[in-house]
Amino acid sequence: MSGSDQGSWHTVSAGEGIAAIAKKNGYLWKTLWEHGNNSRIRSQRPNPNQLVAGDKVFLPPKGRRQEARATDARHRFRRKGEPTRLKLQLTSMGEPRGNEPYTLVFADTVITGSTDGQGRIDQPIPGEVATAMLTLNEGREQYPLTIGLLEPVEEPRGVQQRLLNLGYDCGGEDGQAGAGTRAALLRFQAENGLQQSGEMDGPTRDALRDLHV
């Protein structure tokens, strides 16, 4: 829904982050995120890129800004707040894939680059991008990326997503702590020096947060 003179509330859909909501509705993302009516969602979801379907975001009324410029000249205006950034770290057998060439494709854009020494990619992307394809190893490895669907680690599905991304097969990301999730948690806990409870406890969530944003 769009804003009105008094503002309105937007219900978050799966895969939406603040950047996408702001771009769709014509705001700068910080204008939304830092608005006083969004203090509750800020405290509940510290990362603006990790929202959950059903969350509520306030869209404040829009103001207008006027700029005095000569009519017989060309002027350039730059929109602030764009783009957002895609951040990844590539590893193999627990070791970073440092200085490795990659190709990133989204919409009609093709970007080539190399990871840094720690296997990290930090690439600016438009806020509305929802999917991308990452290609490595001269095209022999292709990884589809779904942007914006990562839930907070405080959510069961967020734990499962991070386990899967780190190579711990938990059988899916349905948000249910079944046998597959418990086995993945036990393996993760054992390999990271944690108490092997098989539960989504605080130390386990902290370790997942350290290893996976």
The answer to whether residues 173 and 161 touch, using CB atoms and an 8 Å cutoff, is yes
Task: Indicate whether 20 pLDDT > 90.
Answer: no
What DSSP assignment string belongs to 5-74?
Answer: TT-EEEEPPTT--HHHHHHHHT--HHHHHTSGGGHHHHHH-SSTT---TT-EEEEPPPP-------TTS-
Task: Indicate whether 37 pLDDT > 80.
Answer: yes
For 83-111, the pLDDT digits (tens) are 578 888 888 877 889 999 999 998 889 99
Task: Indicate whether 155 pLDDT > 70.
Answer: yes
**Taking the model in full, what pTM does it have?**
0.64
For residue 3, name the pLDDT band (cuts at 50, 70, 90).
Answer: very low
